[in-house]
Structure 1
Amino acid sequence: MSTNPITPVLSAPVDHRPAVTVLSGFSPGAVQAAARALLIADEDLLAVRHDIGAIRDGVVHRTVESATAVLEQVAVELRHGCVSCTLREDVLPTLVRLARTRPGTDLLLVLPPTLEPEAVAAACAHCLVDGAPVTAAVRFDSYVTVVDADRFLGDLASTDDLRHRDLHAAEDDHRAVATVVAHQVEFCDTVILWNRPATDRRETHRLGALVSRLAPWAVQVLVGPSPTLDCTALAAGVRRTGRHDPERPGMLGRALEGRQIAVHAPDAGDGVGSVLFRTRRPFHPVRLHGALEKLAEHALRGRGQLWIASRPDEVIAFESAGGSASLGSLGHWLAALPVDRWTETSDQRRLAADLDWDPYYGDRQTALAFIGLHLDHTWITGLLDACLLTYDELADGFDAWRELPDPFTGQL
Structure 2
Amino acid sequence: MTVLSGLWSRATYAVARALLAADPSLLLVRYDLTGTGYIRRVRSADPDPVDEQRGGLLDSDMSRTLPGAFMPDLVQLARTRPHHHVVLMPPAVVEPEAVAAACAGCLVDGVPLSDLIRVDSYVTVVHGDYLLDGLNNGSDLATLGIQAGEDDHRSLADVVVRQIEYADTLVLWGSRTDGGPFDTAHLRALLRHLAPWAAQLHLADDLIDATDLAQRLLDTRRHRWDVPDTLARGLEGFTLGVHEPHPSSDVVTAVFRACRPFHPQRLHEMLWAVNAGVLRSRGHLWLASQPDVVISWDLAGGGLAMRTLTRWLADTPEEQWHQFSDHRRLAASVEWHPYYDDRHHYLVFIGIDLNTADLHRTLTHCLLTDAELADGEATWRGYTDPFAGCFALPTQPPTAPRPDFHETHPRQP
TM-score (norm 2): 0.90
After TM superposition, list the pairs within 5 Å mapping 1:326-345 onto structure 2: 326-345=305-324
Question: How far did 1:410 drift?
Answer: 4.2
Q: From 62, 66, 69, give the equivalent of 2:40.
A: 62
After TM superposition, list the pairs within 5 Å mapping 1:135-214 onto structure 2: 135-196=114-175, 200=178, 203-214=183-194
Q: Could you tell me how far apart the structure 2 residues matched to 1:295 and 1:217 are?
A: 25
Corresponding residue of 1:284? 263
Flag structure 1 segments of 5+ consecutive residues without an equivalent. 1-19
Question: How far did 1:200 drift?
Answer: 4.4
1:157-208 deviations in Å (ceiling 9; x for gaps): 1122111211112222211111110111111110111114x65477111111
Q: From 126, 144, 169, give the equivalent of 2:105.
A: 126
Instruction: Work out whether residues 267 and 273 of structure 1, in 8 Å CA contact, stay in contact via their aligned partners in 2.
Output: yes
- How much is the aligned-residue C-alpha RMSD, in angstroms? 1.5
1:322-379 deviations in Å (ceiling 9; x for gaps): 1110011111000110101100010111011111111111110000000011111112
Corresponding residue of 2:346? 367
Q: Could you tell me how far apart the structure 1 residues matched to 2:357 and 2:127 are?
A: 32
Q: Could you tell me how far apart the structure 2 residues matched to 1:289 and 1:128 are?
A: 44
1:241-276 deviations in Å (ceiling 9; x for gaps): 000000110001101111100010123342111000
Report the residue type matching 1:24 in the other structure: S
Report the residue type matching 1:32 in the other structure: Y
Instruction: Work out whether residues 6 and 125 of structure 2, in 8 Å CA contact, stay in contact via their aligned partners in 1.
Output: yes
Instruction: Work out whether residues 296 and 309 of structure 2, in 8 Å CA contact, stay in contact via their aligned partners in 1.
Output: yes
* SS of the residue 2:129 aligns to: coil
* SS of the residue 1:256 aligns to: coil
Q: Could you tell me how far apart the structure 2 residues matched to 1:175 and 1:267 are?
A: 32
Q: Could you tell me how far apart the structure 1 residues matched to 2:268 and 2:233 are?
A: 23
* SS of the residue 1:140 aligns to: coil
Q: Could you tell me how far apart the structure 1 residues matched to 2:274 and 2:109 are?
A: 47
Identity across aligned pairs (percent)? 45
* SS of the residue 1:384 aligns to: helix
Instruction: Work out whether residues 296 and 324 of structure 1, in 8 Å CA contact, stay in contact via their aligned partners in 2.
Output: no
* SS of the residue 2:50 aligns to: strand
Which stretch of structure 1 is more off in the superposition, 368-377 or 65-74? Answer: 65-74
Q: Could you tell me how far apart the structure 1 residues matched to 2:248 and 2:50 are?
A: 50
Q: From 45, 48, 59, give the equivalent of 1:80.
A: 59
Instruction: Work out whether residues 293 and 323 of structure 1, in 8 Å CA contact, stay in contact via their aligned partners in 2.
Output: no
Q: Does 1:349 align with 2:325?
A: no
Q: Could you tell me how far apart the structure 2 residues matched to 1:100 and 1:65 are?
A: 17
Q: Could you tell me how far apart the structure 1 residues matched to 2:109 and 2:195 are?
A: 35
* SS of the residue 1:168 aligns to: coil
Moved over 6 A (4+): none
Corresponding residue of 1:255? 234
* SS of the residue 2:53 aligns to: strand
Question: How far did 1:50 drift?
Answer: 1.2
Q: Structure 1 residues 79, 22: CA separation in 2 closer, same or farther (over 3 Å shift)?
A: closer
Instruction: Work out whether residues 247 and 353 of structure 2, in 8 Å CA contact, stay in contact via their aligned partners in 1.
Output: no
Q: Structure 1 residues 169, 350: CA separation in 2 closer, same or farther (over 3 Å shift)?
A: same
Q: Structure 1 residues 341, 301: CA separation in 2 closer, same or farther (over 3 Å shift)?
A: same
Q: Does 1:293 align with 2:272?
A: yes
Q: Structure 1 residues 113, 199: CA separation in 2 closer, same or farther (over 3 Å shift)?
A: farther
Corresponding residue of 1:26? 7
Question: How far did 1:304 drift?
Answer: 0.1
Q: Could you tell me how far apart the structure 1 residues matched to 2:102 and 2:374 are?
A: 45
Q: Could you tell me how far apart the structure 2 residues matched to 1:269 and 1:244 are?
A: 27
Question: How far did 1:147 drift?
Answer: 1.2
Larger Rg: 1
Aligned residues: 387
